[in-house]
Chains A and B, each alone.
Chain A
C-alpha cells in the first residue's frame, strides 16, 4: 500500500471532523459547561482535560536545532472534542469524546512541512485525555506530564518526535486571569493559558535518521464551549518567545471582509511583569504573501505585528508551512515557525498561525 493511498484512506475515514465541531451548534444542545470570567485556573488540575466543555487543545510549537545549527520547526497538537452525540448511549464505543492530533516538522532543507494526523474516539484505553493532569494519547501518540514538564512521543508517517519539554517559567494566563474573549459577546470566550520558553530536548527522526535536538517551545492550552462568532472568517495568531526571556501572544479574529472582528494579546516581559492588550492595541499587517501550489490559498507569510508600542516583523523559516488537516479537523491552514525581528535585530522566535485563508474557518 502506498503512502498516498494510506493518506487517502485515512482522509476518507475521518474527513470533516472540524465540520463536526461546527455542526455542534445545530445539535439539540447538550449541557456544555460555560466559560465565565473570574474563575481562577488551578494547576496541575487545569493541565488535565475538561470534558464538560466542547473544545479543548494542547498546542505545542517550537524551534529546535541540531548540533550543526540546522533549525527545525516542530508542532505537536492534541484536540479534544465533545460532539454532543450519543450522550445517553451505554455503549463503551459511544463517541462522547473525540480526540484528534496533528504533528508537523518544518525543515528548510525539505522545503515543506512533514505532517501527520490521528483521530479516535476516547475509550478502551486506546485514546483518551485524562482529567487532573496532562495525559493525552491516541494510540501510540502521546503527550504526558513529567516531573519537570511534558514529554511528547509521536511516531508519525515519515518522522518521529521524541521530545521533552522542560517548564522554565510559570504559566502565562491570557486575557483576564485566563478568561480570554474571542468576540463581542461575553460568551465567545475561552479559558486560555500558555507556557512560553519550554526547553526542548530530545530526538527528531526524519526518514529513519535520528537527529538530537535542543530548542525552545511554547504550549497553548485552551478550552471553550463557544469560540468563534458566526461572522468570523479566521484568525491570525502569533506566539513568540522573546530573546530577553519575555513572551508575546497576539491574535486577531478577522471578519468576512478582512477587517478585524476582535483582537487581543499579552506581553510578559523578561522581568515577569505582564501587560494585557485591549483589542484596539493589536494590529496585524500583511507584508508579503505566498500562494500555496496545492490549494491556491494566499497566506501572508511575512507579517507586521503591533502590540501596544511593540512592533515586530515576523518572517517565516520557510514559506511552505501549510498544514492540510482536512482529514481530521477538516481545514487547511498555515502554521509556521517564524523569526521576530525589529530594528534589524532578531528579537525572538515563535510560531505564526494563519487560519481562514483557504476557506472561512468553521470551528
Chain B
C-alpha cells in the first residue's frame, strides 16, 4: 500500500543538513508499525513527506500505487483528505467546535451527506467511548479524552493510512495505554494501516512491527538500549 524507495531529504539554509537518506520502506494494508528514533533524527519529516506536506529531495513515495511526486499541492491535499488520518501529540482539537463537529470535520471536507455523517460520527464516538460527549466543548475535556476525539477524527472517514506523531506524549501512563489500545483497535477495525512515531518503548510495543530511524536509514527492530 505504501512503498518508499531511496528517500532523501535535505534542509537548506544557514546550516544545511541531511535529515533522511536512503530510506526504503514498505507498508501493507492492515499493518500497524511503530517508528522510533532519537530526537531530531527526522521522524516527523518522514511523516510529513508521507503525508505530502513536504517534498523529498530524492527517492519516491507511492501510496496505493500513486506516486506522490506526480501530484500537485491540491491533489496531494485531496489525497490526504480522503485517504489519511492524523493524530498529533498536542491533540489539536479545534476549540470553537464541539466534540462532534471536530470529529465530523473530515466528512464535511469530503462533502458527505449530513445524515450519513451524523451516524458515522456517532458510531466513531461510541467506538472511542465518548458517546455522551458529542455536544461538549473541547475545553471541558481531559487530555486523554481529547486524544480519543482526535482518534475518532482521524478514522471517521475510513482512511487507508493513519499517521500518529507521539500521540501519547502529553498523556499520563494510564491514559496513554488506553489511547494506544484504542488507536490500535480503531485502525485494525478499519482494516487500515498506521505508522506510529514515538519515543515510548511501551507505545512501540503495541505495534505489529517496530522500526528505528537512524542516520544510516530505517532498520527493522527496536531502538538499542
The reply to whether A and B meet directly (CB within 8 Å) is: no
